[in-house]
A and B are shown apart, each in its own frame.
Chain A
């Protein structure tokens, strides 16, 4: 029995996707859950898995083609099954969709043209065997394995072997330096290295450059413009005392294995989720002109900076999860987002978002709401600052956070109460462990 594969909906707001690459060629056997194609959406490149087993009988769309959600993209036939064009039309008819035009050669043409420069580059590479290999760095198999085991980005490691090859010793030294400075200071450590000399070059001033926007960049632009222009934002900022939280985190991290160590943000996610439980109006969306939908789940979106843009991964039911699980899930999802290997469920269903730029040392900022949510919390750096406690001037740990809220859904007082409750959780962080 032949089955139709359609453009999957990979998020509640996804309208169309680009078929980036066929993984299964026509004639390839297909097992259930085999990856058959890669689809690029506004948010990510996602792998499409087959729901059935059989043989990839025909591709109904070409690589590079934009297709609306639910458009048929392929026919998977049972093993040994032969299908005529009429059979396929019938199948499409049954599914209630029009037969798409078969990917015509002309349509494939532009895709090929786009690829041409790559080919040239490849030729140049071939002619010069000593250039840095694909992936950017030269490294020994052992170094690669160690880097993977310890989550070390090879691009940050200086290779001491021949032609800059990264070897065991380099990874060991890198790990040693990280250990010495403490993991949280990783960013700082990187910041301490001198900027590349190219920034100060006195050579010729380069020409202007026009670059194409990636789909992700375009999508971010569209959505943020829509949100900022059409949703009435208001902003409230509060300073949080974070001394207790930092102390608790340090203590907990001494008990936890490397892969489960907690970040400040993990505490914030937990605290936000618990506070939202008390303020359901902020965990909501405009349904239509007359209704607001208050979500049952508390799913916190976490903005992750990725190459060429940002993505929001979603920690589902964060109010119910222990911190350690939140930490692990978010770390894994963020990793996948950065590698453009994000799964559909990683990025859908958020009801409120958190954006944290603390690791960049940002003092204070306001974020644009991620529609259709009603609010977003912008979290800045934890810093030791002069503060007054019990009438004394002391050095204390503080962090600023700003909520951006949709005025159609909520008002200043409600959002301010939310921020106050959030303060109770963050300043008495033991509550987050219960």
Chain B
């Protein structure tokens, strides 16, 4: 990696952190509606994977997706506009926090039903195999909580039976909502679940972005060479509650504090200075740049308009919705006014 790449990676992690902090603020002001799940503390995972995956590799994740959207290459201003439900959002304001995607960037969403995207990931890989896209890998990200649902098992089984090129990534942040892993899962090491399907698996530390890069890069090479699925359990920690409004009765303040000392941004910062890649000043400058990017993103999002009423019926199907349905529902809207 060149020096510039290190700085870009650092800045991206800071941008993700700041975007989440500003989101929390905007949520409390009522500008962001619905559910909001913050990624703070887990930045090393998405940034690390985002920096080693190839353009043909597909990323698909669950509802804690803002960091993944940015590390997949979506401009933060389109992420912020989506959070505010605006027309310039990466999903046109229709998806919201949990449903961000950009097909151009090979980022296949943001899926909000726990575990539902896991079989879809197998299908993405099947599509690549079917079409002879030999170099493509599907990277499917899910939390530890999703490994207890049937979808996960059906999909892992299918991926092994059909030998599909999927990197299954479990971001083990140690809580499925408020339930600790060992209270919900029969095995506390998620990677063991891959054993049941005869699948290669590994558990790695996920707070150090360099470590994530190194290991994921290696595993992706393995899949590209040998084919077939691989499960990687990446240990991480979220500093914030499951979502906004989580009372966090399930864990001690001390526990959060301990992990904050292991902050992925702090770890990477020390690494860059220790390895003489950058000075404090240079990194402060990157912090300032990140701040500016996020500020601009917020301003862009606030200035972006709401989608037009007339677009309500767009994209139900690939061709326009039949007239009677349209008329039917439009009538409803005008009644409401």
Direct touch of chains A and B (CB < 8 A):
no
